[in-house]
Amino acid sequence: MGKPLRIGMIGYGFMGKAHSNAWRKVAHFFPELAHRPVLQVLCARDAVKARAFAEVWGYPEVETDWRRLVTREDVDAVDICVPNHLHKEIALAAAAAGKMILCEKPLALDVAEGEAMVAAAERAGVPTMVWYNYRRVPAVTLARQLIDEGRIGRPFHYRAQFLQDWTMAEDVPQGGAALWRLDVKSAGSGVTGDLLAHCIDSAMWLNGPITRVCADTETFITQRLHQETGRVEPVGIDDACIFMCRFANGSMGTFESTRYARGHKALKTLELNGSDGSLRFNLHEPEYLDFFEYKARETGQKTPSHTTGWRRIHVTNGEHPYMAHWWVPGLVIGYEHSFVHAVADFLKGLESGVPAQPDFKDALRTQKVCEAVLHSAQSGGWIETGLAGPA
Ligand SMILES: NC(=O)c1ccc[n+]([C@@H]2O[C@H](COP(=O)([O-])OP(=O)(O)OC[C@H]3O[C@@H](n4cnc5c(N)ncnc54)[C@H](O)[C@@H]3O)[C@@H](O)[C@H]2O)c1
């Protein structure tokens, strides 16, 4: 039995559930870890609903005010699973109380808030992590491994998409549970912070810093009923965003995200084209990584022309990232496992003293790109992100 790490969870929505599941599962599938997470206390404003969730997931205690949760002596790590406008205030209070902090993405509403969070965590000396979980889908982690092994050669192009279609109806309201995403006061931005932030995190992890961007955004439905005020109010978020960019390594990038791509539910894609090979991933088939090998690294030889072609790697072998912890080759894992991997890496980071990434500081870099994208869409020109080299 490992050393208990007592979790204080704030929020019981989509992510509260995904994280509770991850904290519960990790010790079973990563038994070698020195820490054993314990679901200690769940916080949400509605005591009845909070208790019902706590019972299902096995939290013995409930709080209705996050301020009490973050100062409890029986909490070691605070897990922030609430809308974006609350991230900073909770993180600052948790850091002041000396707690480890795991915060959902995006780090904050904007760069200024993110910088305050980084400073507070550094002052307190507490470990942090931001849940950019797609890095830990084994096929995406394998993409990073192939890049690090030098199989792609000089990178030329990176392209990414995150496409959904769930806000196309005019009568979808804004504000409140789940729909806070459409309310700019709670979300900070629309698809840029919600969806492209994931794409940007994956991109910079795989292909290095984005140095400048040129973007265009659109809000297709400009007013919606607000669930909390009961009034029809202007919509302040971006419904769609496209941007092109340059990476520090000289490659070019194109990114697109929308919630108006009829038929697409959560199509997150990435593709990297280099001199020696290409990589391609899409979240609707998460167990596959497509790899085109133009030149084999081992021999330095070009693949014979009559055998060239895209290879579909079924990322389920024990040799593939994380997969030795799950089933036998050929059997797939899914979305929720990326969160289990995030927890496992966070706990490994505590043991080794090498913090799991992205921590607050690394996630601030993604926030800077998001902010540059939104500024560029307003100004209509190229904007420098201020990022030059690795974190
Ligand atoms: N990593 C990912 O893939 C991913 C996916 C979805 C959401 N997110 C992020 O997770 C966060 C939460 O999103 P969600 O989809 O779980 O939202 P949600 O609407 O499903 O849940 C939000 C929760 O926050 C609670 N809450 C709101 N205000 C509160 C307060 N003052 N005190 C305590 N609890 C409060 C709500 O009761 C609810 O339980 C957001 O930052 C979002 O961007 C990340």
Secondary structure of 199-239 in the HEC alphabet? HHHHHHHHHCCEEEEEEEEECCCCEEEECCCCCEEECCCCC
Q: For the chain, which domains are there?
A: 3-133 (3.40.50.720), 134-384 (3.30.360.10)
Where residue 2 falls among pLDDT bands split at 50, 70, 90? confident
Ligand 1 centre from 11 Cα, in Å?
6
Q: What is the mean pLDDT of residues 63-91?
A: 98
Provide the token pair at 381.
Answer: 């020109």
Q: What is the mean pLDDT of residues 167-177?
A: 96
> What spatial distance separates the first Cα and last Cα of the chain, rounded to whole Å?
35
Q: Are strands 252-258 and 267-274 parallel, antiparallel or unpaired?
A: unpaired
Asked if residue 33 lies in contact with residue 22, where contact means CB atoms within 8 angstroms, the answer is no
Ligand 1 centre from 132 Cα, in Å?
14
Mean pLDDT for the chain overall:
97
Ligand 1 centre from 191 Cα, in Å?
16
Q: What is the mean pLDDT of residues 159-180?
A: 96
Provide the token pair at 152.
Answer: 């792609």
Ligand 1 centre from 365 Cα, in Å?
22
Find the residues whose C-beta lies inside 6 A of ligand 1: 10-16, 43-45, 66, 81-84, 86, 104-105, 131, 133, 177-178, 180, 194
Asked if residue 339 lies in contact with residue 131, where contact means CB atoms within 8 angstroms, the answer is yes
Provide the token pair at 174.
Answer: 């804004």
Q: Whose CA is nearest to atom 27 of ligand 1?
A: 82
Per residue in 130-156, pLDDT (tens digit) is 999 999 999 999 999 999 999 999 999
DSSP for residue 306: G
Per residue in 297-330, pLDDT (tens digit) is 899 999 999 999 999 999 999 999 999 999 999 9
Per residue in 222-231, pLDDT (tens digit) is 999 999 999 9
Where residue 391 falls among pLDDT bands split at 50, 70, 90? very low
CA of 131, closest atom in ligand 1: 1
Q: Whose CA is nearest to atom 23 of ligand 1?
A: 11
Cα separations in angstroms, 150 against 80, 274, 278: 37, 10, 11
CA of 46, closest atom in ligand 1: 37
Alpha-carbon distance 205 to 135, whole Å? 8
Per residue in 251-288, pLDDT (tens digit) is 999 999 999 999 999 999 999 999 999 999 999 999 99
Report whether pLDDT(390) > 80: no
Provide the token pair at 190.
Answer: 């629309």
CA of 180, closest atom in ligand 1: 19
CA of 43, closest atom in ligand 1: 33
Provide the token pair at 48.
Answer: 């009845």
Ligand 1 centre from 278 Cα, in Å?
36
